[in-house]
């Protein structure tokens, strides 16, 4: 069925994939904020007036809300900013969805969990976020469920195209270091479920099409630490993985509590007959070849570990 869909955060890592993969019979609009692009509407979603004004002027069926600050360290450094971008934008979008009868598909995160449960987390598990990012995203979830027709989608760590701002920052830095033959230490304690934005976008469009409601986890079921992730990328890129060393000390970002294993179980998706999302071992080669035309992988001057 044809639908009018708004994607908030259309310049972001996931938003771009959603814009690029929308079903042909859907009419799709997107918002940007600081990254102004032709074809997108510039909206500051912290402003309830701007958000409601847009909804009032456009006839929408579905809003896919991807705006966030997903950088854990940035959120911890600027709690007020994190609250505004993660929580208040969702409050404003949810209010507009209620007022204008629009279905809300809200993106959330495995960071709403504390990662202590060995068996992993189903959709009904009790959240217990450990840091500002998870706390502000949980507030956002609670706003999203006030919309009569809503779907909260919890995601694990994502990777997009291999370019600055479209993949975890540490990945281009890693590939640069490996090209130079420098030794790199990567965390080997925190297990994650790296999942490609392309695969997430395909699944999201299926969920939109099927009018799925409630809460759902969308994640690959292949777990790995950054160390294992780095080894896979090195070999997919034809680089020497032997210079990557496992780091098993305490975390990467001192002072910010990170969940050790916030594993997202995907039984609901499986019950719906949706095949499991591919793990990185099936995607690594395509990923390292996914530098968008006209860009080079961004290379930060120092090696930076991201929130994943």
Binding site for ligand NAP (CB under 6 A): 9, 11-15, 31-35, 43-46, 66-68, 70, 85, 89, 107, 109, 137, 155, 157-158, 308
**At its nearest, how many Å lie between ligand NAP and the CB of residue 119?**
20
Nearer to ligand NAP, 163 or 231 (CB): 163
Helix (H, G, I), strand (E, B), or coil: what is residue 57?
A: helix
Q: How far is the CB of 121 from ligand NAP (least distance, A)?
A: 13
Closest distance of CB 264 from ligand NAP, Å? 9
B/e letters for 137-176, b = 16+ CB within 10 Å, e = fewer, are bbbbbebbeebeebbbbbbbbbbbbbbeebbbbbbbbbbb
Nearest CA to 77 out of 17, 131, 6, 152 is that of 131
Between residues 50 and 243, which has the closer beta carbon with respect to ligand NAP?
50
Nearer to ligand NAP, 185 or 217 (CB): 217
In terms of CB distance, is 43 or 274 closer to ligand NAP? 43
The residues pairing with 105 across neighbouring beta strands, listed in sequence order, are 64, 151
* Closest CB to ligand NAP among residues 158, 208: 158
Q: Which residue is nearest to ligand NAP (CB)?
A: 12
Alpha-carbon torsion angle 42, 19, 78, 304, nearest 10:
-130
| Closer by beta carbon to ligand NAP, 34 or else 49 | 34
Q: In whole angstroms, how close is the CB of 299 to ligand NAP at the nearest point?
A: 18
Shortest distance, CB of residue 45 to ligand NAP, whole angstroms?
Answer: 4
Nearer Cβ to ligand NAP, position 184 or 306?
306
Crossing angle for the helix pair 226-236 and 280-288, to the nearest 10 degrees: 50
Residue 153 C-beta: closest distance to ligand NAP, Å: 8
DSSP single-letter state for residue 42:
E
Angle at 10 between CA 36 and CA 257, to 5 degrees: 105
Secondary structure of residue 159 in the 3-state scheme: strand
Residue 197 to residue 218: CA distance in whole angstroms:
11
Q: How far is the CB of 242 from ligand NAP (least distance, A)?
A: 28
Distance, CA of 146 to CA of 96 (rounded, Å): 11
């Amino acid at each position: 069925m044809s639908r009018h869909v708004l994607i908030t955060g259309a310049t972001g890592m996931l938003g771009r994939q959603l814009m690029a993969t929308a079903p042909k019979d859907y009419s799709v609009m997107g918002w940007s904020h600081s990254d102004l692009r032709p074809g997108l509407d510039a909206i500051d979603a912290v402003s309830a007036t701007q958000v409601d004004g847009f909804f009032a002027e456009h006839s929408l069926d579905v809003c896919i809300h991807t705006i966030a600050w997903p950088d854990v360290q940035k959120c911890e450094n600027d709690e007020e900013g994190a609250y505004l971008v993660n929580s208040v934008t969702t409050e404003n979008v949810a209010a507009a969805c209620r007022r204008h009868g629009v279905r809300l598909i809200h993106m959330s995160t495995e960071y709403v969990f504390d990662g202590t449960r060995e068996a992993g987390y189903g959709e009904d598990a009790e959240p217990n976020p450990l840091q500002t990012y998870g706390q502000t995203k949980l507030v956002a979830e609670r706003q999203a469920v006030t919309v009569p027709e809503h779907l909260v989608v919890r995601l694990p760590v994502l990777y997009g195209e291999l370019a600055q701002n479209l993949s975890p920052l540490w990945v281009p830095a890693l590939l640069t270091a490996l090209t130079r033959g420098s030794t790199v230490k990567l965390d080997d304690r925190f297990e994650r479920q790296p999942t490609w934005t392309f695969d997430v976008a395909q699944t999201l469009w299926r969920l939109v099409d099927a009018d799925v409601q409630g809460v759902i986890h969308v994640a690959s079921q292949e777990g790995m630490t950054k160390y294992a992730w780095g080894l896979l990328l090195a070999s997919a890129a034809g680089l020497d993985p032997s210079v990557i060393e496992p780091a098993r000390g305490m975390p990467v970002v001192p002072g910010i509590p990170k969940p050790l294993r916030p594993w997202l179980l995907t039984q609901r998706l499986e019950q719906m007959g949706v095949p499991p999302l591919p793990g990185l071992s099936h995607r690594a080669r395509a990923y390292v070849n996914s530098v968008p035309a006209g860009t080079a992988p961004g290379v930060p001057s120092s090696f930076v570990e991201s929130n994943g």
